Structure 1
């Protein structure tokens, strides 16, 4: 008997507000999904560990738990989230590289800890392209270039004109050296010949804090954690990096739309150790792509202010990774950016 459509829906745990802490999503899944029908007969035979390169409570952690819950219900074995932050993602990546390549250990990470890291300072303990296999790309987003409310610039053109007219007078904050915001501004500086100081922070909330506190006037901020400050009128986004407008802030144009091309996105994705059976990778890819098309998950991504990428194959994700490494490397080399 077919399941009623309402029983096929995921149950979405709502956020108290767009800027509130993100809570795990409880999912009620159908038993006849495409991946269930195509699941390998010899996998999984025991619990599957999803190693997350970010701390508990982060956006990546939230996504990983949504996916873990889904895969647990689909494949009949627990998918357990194991947070291993630190080392710019290298600690988590190495844990997966060293694990047996049988599909029972997966990596949930992001562009900063893979493509960007490869461009700035390739890890010596493993080879990204040789030792890890892309499984599925998930969300994609940029970072907001934001200013304080009283700042006279309201778009990129005005900001560039202001900085050019007053060289070395302004500074901008970012989530750290080599972060997406840092490299986006470096590309802009190189393209437009701007002289503006860089203030790297250890966390995105510190950038927002100093902007709200009057210490900083310009900053690159995370599109999710900054929503509360934006809604309160404490900071004002004037551009977003990458190719996606933020779902909750569609009025903010991309850098490219404002005449300053920048097409590299931040993203999250699942990886496996090289040599993992292709049938396992295909099953996970199919099921996660199906999950991302549900209205419940689309709504959660909207709440997180993250763009939804089209369903993609492992090969397409691999090509995205290659292209991104080349793009980030060009920026790093052109601007002489060195690791901290």
Structure 2
């Protein structure tokens, strides 16, 4: 997959010398100080009450207090986030129209779906990496393995016998499962469901054997002993699951966190992007916000636009390779 440098980046590079001579820094300060001029609309392309929606509301309630303007959160589901993305691509580029995406909408859709009604790379300006948390590999208590090493050995010795559930073909959970198979040398069969919640009854009964899911939704099941946590999918352990190893300790190179981030229409002025990122960063650092995030194993980030753009583009490359290597095909 070709991942071209965004038009915004090229334009900024080309005009940098002229901008300096024309005193654009003063203009930039004015633009940033002038935001917001009124209410900010934040689209969350997921149903209300879900994990992504909860993080968005927690952070932007604080942002609203900081900027002295309401942040109106609108849940616009459908199409795995593509409907909301298409709407944002056509929205005014004034910093008052934003989307709270996850890795699913901002990366997975870009590398798996064709014929989108928007350019998934060049129609958006990355604002800030808002939050990040690991996924966790859990298995049914019916599986005779007590740790990740035992489970990998069991799966290798019985190719095709074990299965893993996912939230659907081409989803981030499916991709995480296929990377597991590739790096572990296993043939755990993929069984798609309509969401990870739908996997749980079959997982608990042993009809499917493994699930890779977010730490927050799995914490109650892990604590109650209904599932066995084997590993988290980031390079470091989770603070809320300190005894559970990072998968990278057993499978070097495995690093699949779940993250959320804020995007704006591509033509949004850079000073405004920087101001929004700054406000989100301050929100993540607020003691009460940080405490609530930490309770669910979520890390508040609040990166700069440049940092988020670099991270986003690297994620596009990583996921594109996994999709191609696993020959994942999605009907768009």
Q: What CA distance in whole angstroms lies between the structure 1 residues aligned with 2:185 and 2:83?
A: 37
Q: What CA distance in whole angstroms lies between the structure 1 residues aligned with 2:214 and 2:195?
A: 10
Is 1:226 equivalent to 2:199 in the alignment? no
Q: Report if aligned partners of 2:135, 2:256 keep a CA contact under 8 Å in 1.
A: no
Is 1:108 equivalent to 2:100 in the alignment? yes
- The correspondence of residues 130-149 of structure 1 with structure 2, limited to 5 A, is 130-149=122-141
Q: Name the residue aligned to 1:73.
A: 65
- The correspondence of residues 227-306 of structure 1 with structure 2, limited to 5 A, is 227-306=219-298
Alignment gaps of 5+ in structure 1: 1-36
Q: What CA distance in whole angstroms lies between the structure 2 residues aligned with 1:237 and 1:334?
A: 27
Alignment gaps of 5+ in structure 2: 1-28
TM-fit CA distance, 1:158 = 1.5
Relative distance call for 1:216 and 1:106 in structure 2 (3 A) is: same
Q: Report if aligned partners of 1:264, 1:324 keep a CA contact under 8 Å in 2.
A: no
Q: What CA distance in whole angstroms lies between the structure 2 residues aligned with 1:271 and 1:245?
A: 28
Runs of 4+ off more than 6 Å: none
TM-fit CA distance, 1:67 = 2.5
TM-fit CA distance, 1:109 = 0.8
**CA deviations over 1:273-320 (Å, ceiling 9, x no partner):** 0111222111111111111122212211122222344x5210110011
Q: Name the residue aligned to 2:21.
A: none
Q: Report if aligned partners of 1:177, 1:339 keep a CA contact under 8 Å in 2.
A: yes
Q: For 1:320, which of 296, 311, 316 is the aligned residue?
A: 311
SS at match of 1:129: coil
Q: Name the residue aligned to 1:332.
A: 323
Q: What CA distance in whole angstroms lies between the structure 1 residues aligned with 2:239 and 2:96?
A: 34
Q: What CA distance in whole angstroms lies between the structure 1 residues aligned with 2:297 and 2:309?
A: 25
TM-fit CA distance, 1:201 = 1.3
Q: What CA distance in whole angstroms lies between the structure 1 residues aligned with 2:138 and 2:58?
A: 30
Aligned length: 303
Is 1:184 equivalent to 2:170 in the alignment? no
Q: What CA distance in whole angstroms lies between the structure 1 residues aligned with 2:68 and 2:287?
A: 23
Q: What CA distance in whole angstroms lies between the structure 1 residues aligned with 2:243 and 2:102?
A: 26
Larger helix proportion, structure 1 or 2? 2
SS at match of 2:186: coil
Q: What CA distance in whole angstroms lies between the structure 1 residues aligned with 2:54 and 2:124?
A: 22
Q: What CA distance in whole angstroms lies between the structure 1 residues aligned with 2:251 and 2:261?
A: 29
Q: What CA distance in whole angstroms lies between the structure 1 residues aligned with 2:285 and 2:115?
A: 34
SS at match of 1:224: helix
**CA deviations over 1:44-68 (Å, ceiling 9, x no partner):** 2221100001110011111111222
TM-fit CA distance, 1:191 = 3.2
**CA deviations over 1:116-157 (Å, ceiling 9, x no partner):** 221222552111221100111011123211112242223332
TM-fit CA distance, 1:241 = 1.4
Is 1:172 equivalent to 2:164 in the alignment? yes
Q: Name the residue aligned to 1:34.
A: none
Q: What CA distance in whole angstroms lies between the structure 2 residues aligned with 1:61 and 1:187?
A: 27
Q: What CA distance in whole angstroms lies between the structure 1 residues aligned with 2:42 and 2:200?
A: 30
Is 1:194 equivalent to 2:186 in the alignment? yes
TM-fit CA distance, 1:185 = 2.3
Q: Report if aligned partners of 2:124, 2:264 keep a CA contact under 8 Å in 1.
A: yes
